[in-house]
Amino acid sequence: MRPYTKLQWIGFKFSGIFLMAVSLIMIYYSTFFIEKYRLYSLVTLGNVIIYDGKIIIAIGATPTYIYLFFFAFRTILQKGVERLKKGTLIGNIWGLFSLACFVFFMVISWIIPLGLMALGYTLCDEEGDVPGLYYASKPEICKTIVSKP
């Protein structure tokens, strides 16, 4: 092997390890650090709903991060620095599934606020810690909202 080829090989393998680490961190984040009470308030449709579209998108992107992890794992196990010649059937199916999930949840994150408005909820647009995250069934409730620490 020539010296630049070894350097390319090392860079190729370390980039695969980096992609695996990033995907694991994002899966861990979307599994353990998403505030469950926000999703619970959206599902139960109580008097006050805490809605953040980024949470919905993070849940929808989880299959994409799983796909990225196994793609990077496959590049680490591959010999040399060449491009992957042939995709696997499960990789193609999972890639399409993860893309469909991401697009679906992205669209849903834009539609949910419109649905809340159609159900009669009003956006609490008061100044505060996180303005614009709270939807209330009556505008008077907006004045009584205290954000969770």
For residue range 44-74, list pLDDT tens digits in order: 888 888 888 888 888 899 999 999 999 899 8
Domain membership of residue 149 (yes or no) is no
CA distances 99 to 74, 84, 89, 118, Å, are: 19, 20, 15, 29
Helices 3-32 and 53-77: crossing angle in degrees, nearest 10, is 150
Cα–Cα nearest to 103, from 68, 145, 61: 61
**69 is a domain residue:** yes
Whole-structure pTM value: 0.76
In eight-state DSSP terms, residue 144 is: G
Q: Is residue 139 part of a domain?
A: yes
pLDDT 10s digits, 69-90: 998 998 888 877 777 777 788 8
Q: Decide if 47 is inside a domain.
A: yes
Alpha-carbon span 81 to 10, nearest angstrom: 9
Question: pLDDT band at 39, cuts 50/70/90?
Answer: confident
Say yes or no to pLDDT of 149 above 60.
Answer: no
CB atoms inside a 10 Å sphere around CB 7: 12
When divided into structural domains, the chain yields a total of 1
Domain extent at residue 40: 3-144
Residue 81 in domain: yes
State yes or no: pLDDT of 7 exceeds 70.
yes
In a domain, 61, yes or no: yes
pLDDT in tens, 89-137: 888 999 999 999 999 999 999 999 899 889 888 888 765 555 568 888 8
Unique residue bearing structure tokens 């998403």: 34
Residue 43 lies in a domain: yes
Kind and range of the H or E element at 122?
strand 122-124
